[in-house]
């Protein structure tokens, strides 16, 4: 006799998918900005140990190494995202939050614009393309490693493969018998997911990380405002970039990323000219550094046909430079 179980009420998820993704972006934005600040400090310390300015100065101490790291992590995540789809919100947090905030397009363009204004145009152009190739190399290297992790196991010899197929067929027969028995017995299972499944654990971990991160960063800002204010304001830039991407990115062109990068470049130039130094650190490093992104930009370029990618690079770079040079040049 078949058991007709009455439907049980299913509890709604702790967090909606959108809120879950937003909170992960917030958490990983803290980590991304902190990584960029830390890498900038390490690079600056290495530069100070040299007898004269090295290639790190030409490449951009505040952002070059961070851009490489962010593009590498973005590359690693691409194959993993496709395999572990149940972690979608976490992947959004890592790629949009960490990678997007670890890399910065606006500071890169500000540095390039300053070189153009100081009659170093050849150096600025040459270094820009070197940096671009380095970012692509980091992204491709990360993607290769991610793909290697996701690779299927080595093919078995014919004899071993035949044995495995027989074993699989026998296992399936056992499963079919058990299924037929289960249909005839009352089911005590609930429609609610188990307490230790990712769908239950991840929202709880996310809320705990968000709460503790926000409290720690706020305390740090209260004690040392100049240093930690960049970290506190970073998630707002990341979330604005995420919102622009959700609304404006299309199959034709990632207009959301383009707008975020050009807007951040414009704000950077305005801040440098008209705001005090202590405010500049927070907005340039925190907000604009997180609003703009190199890792997502490179990932988008990697998925485009060559001609379209070249046009997208040219459009992004030229628009950012026109805006930056127009603002910075007005004060010279």
Q: Name the burial class of residue 240, with classes exposed (0-12), middle (13-18) and buried (19+) by CB atoms within 10 angstroms of its CB.
A: middle
What pLDDT score does 188 carry?
A: 46
Residue ranges in the chain assigned as alpha helix (H): 17-48, 55-59, 64-83, 88-92, 100-102, 105-117, 121-150, 158-182, 198-223, 225-248, 255-274, 277-280, 289-291, 295-302, 306-329
Backbone angles phi, psi at 2, to 5 degrees: -85, 145
What pLDDT score does 260 carry?
A: 97
What pLDDT score does 3 carry?
A: 46
What pLDDT score does 69 carry?
A: 98
What pLDDT score does 74 carry?
A: 98
What pLDDT score does 185 carry?
A: 46
Q: What is the mean pLDDT of each run of 10 residues along the chain (332 residues)?
A: 48 80 96 95 88 80 94 96 90 96 96 92 93 97 93 60 59 59 50 58 91 91 79 95 95 94 96 87 92 97 95 97 94 69
Strand, coil or helix: 249: strand
DSSP string, 293-313: -SHHHHHHHHTS-HHHHHHHH
pTM exceeding the 0.85 threshold for the entire prediction:
no
* Cα separation, 261 vs 106, whole angstroms: 6
DSSP string, 176-208: HHHHHHHTTS-----SSPPTTSHHHHHHHHHHH
What pLDDT score does 222 carry?
A: 83
Q: Where are the domains of the chain?
A: 17-150+198-329
Residues 6+ apart with CB under 8 A from 138: 67, 68, 69, 71, 72, 75
């Amino acid at each position: 006799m078949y058991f007709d179980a009455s439907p049980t009420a299913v509890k709604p998820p702790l967090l909606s998918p959108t809120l879950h993704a937003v909170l992960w972006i917030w958490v990983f934005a803290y980590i991304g900005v902190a990584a960029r600040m830390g890498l900038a400090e390490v690079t600056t310390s290495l530069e100070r140990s040299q007898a004269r300015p090295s290639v790190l100065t030409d490449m951009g101490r505040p952002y070059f190494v961070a851009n490489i790291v962010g593009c590498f992590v973005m590359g690693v995540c691409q194959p993993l995202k496709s395999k572990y789809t149940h972690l979608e919100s976490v992947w959004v947090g890592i790629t949009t939050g960490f990678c997007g905030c670890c890399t910065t397009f606006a500071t890169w363009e500000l540095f390039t614009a300053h070189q153009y204004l100081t009659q170093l145009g050849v150096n600025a152009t040459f270094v820009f393309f070197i940096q671009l190739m380095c970012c692509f190399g980091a992204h491709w290297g990360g993607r290769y490693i991610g793909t290697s992790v996701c690779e299927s196991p080595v093919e078995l010899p014919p004899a071993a493969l035949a044995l495995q197929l027989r074993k699989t067929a026998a296992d399936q027969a056992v499963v079919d018998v058990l299924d037929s028995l289960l249909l005839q017995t009352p089911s005590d299972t609930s429609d609610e997911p188990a307490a230790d499944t990712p769908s239950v654990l991840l929202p709880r971990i996310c809320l705990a990380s968000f709460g503790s991160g926000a409290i720690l960063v706020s305390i740090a800002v209260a004690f040392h405002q100049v240093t930690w204010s960049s970290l506190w304001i970073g998630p707002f830039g990341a979330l604005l970039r995420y919102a622009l991407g959700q609304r404006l990115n299309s199959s034709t062109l990632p207009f959301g990323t383009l707008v975020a990068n050009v807007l951040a470049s414009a704000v950077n130039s305005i801040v440098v000219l008209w705001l005090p130094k202590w405010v500049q650190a927070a907005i340039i490093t925190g907000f604009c550094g997180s609003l703009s992104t190199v890792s997502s930009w490179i990932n988008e370029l990697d998925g485009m046909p060559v001609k379209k990618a070249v046009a997208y690079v040219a459009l992004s770079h030229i628009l950012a430079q026109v805006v930056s040079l127009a603002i910075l040049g007005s004060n010279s």
